[in-house]
Amino acid sequence: MNRYTKAIVRKPGKNFANGISISNLGKPSFELALEQHAAYCEALGKSGVDVIVLEADEHYPDGCFVEDTAIVTKEVAIITRPSDPARLGEEESILQTISKFKKVERIIAPGNLEGGDIMRVENTFYIGITKRTNIEGANQLAQFLSKYGYTATHVPIKDILHLKTGIAYLSEGNFIAVDTVAGIAQGKNVIKIEAGEEYSANCLKVNDNLLIPKGFPNSKSQIVKLGYNIIEVEMSEFRKMDGGLTCLSLLF
């Protein structure tokens, strides 16, 4: 996998709890979210990346979930178009920041696309077709990627929010997934997640480290057996807002 040198993150805002959520896990604590976000940034730093921290934007309660705003490759950053009108505009400040480092393309209406629906496996991008990402957005992304030598595959998704809510590529042909999307791995080595630990599907490989959400011992034990150097990160407050480890950064 690519080695990353930079990560863009955004601090949660004071109105973080007003974001979009269907988790029914209760109201998150703003103070605890800040602590967990700082620990997340520390884990990124330990993984060898320079962390670019953007201040909270109180116009957008979901603004800390920067992954949804762009797809970044070595050659280009493709700015997305979130599906919910309340999130339209989050991508503008990300565009201003990432354009300092990358050539930029953009998804345009009627396309909708969110980064949580995009899973990269080497040079292939799996695009989840969900309530957040439509066919038009997926087709636009595939066309952009093809210009730079990448391939793309559409994956219809049901019962989970984003594609990466249910599956992660860990590197070296290894995946972790819930049953409903495990077939994407097509015979590769897949850690099957046990009932009650579904949230552990969202892991984040950053150079030599694998960030995993804290509190899921069965998934952790299976990952450890594969030899990964893991960093556990407490994600309770972001989980309440349907967010995971990948959601909180743009790596490049």
What residues act catalytically?
162, 247
For residue 165, how many other CB atoms are within 10 A of its CB? Answer: 25
Concatenating the DSSP letter of every residue in 78-141 gives EE-B-SSGGGTTHHHHHHHHHTTTSEEEE--TT--B-GGGEEEETTEEEEEESSSS-HHHHHHH
Give the total residue count for the chain: 252
In sequence order, the 6+-apart residues with CB closer than 8 A to the CB of 34 are 11, 12
Cα–Cα distance measured from residue 227 to residue 173, given in angstroms and rounded to the nearest whole number: 13
- Dihedral sign of CA atoms 224, 222, 66, 20 in order: negative
Cα–Cα distance measured from residue 179 to residue 176, given in angstroms and rounded to the nearest whole number: 10
E strand or H helix at 166: helix 163-166
* 3-class secondary-structure state, position 242: coil
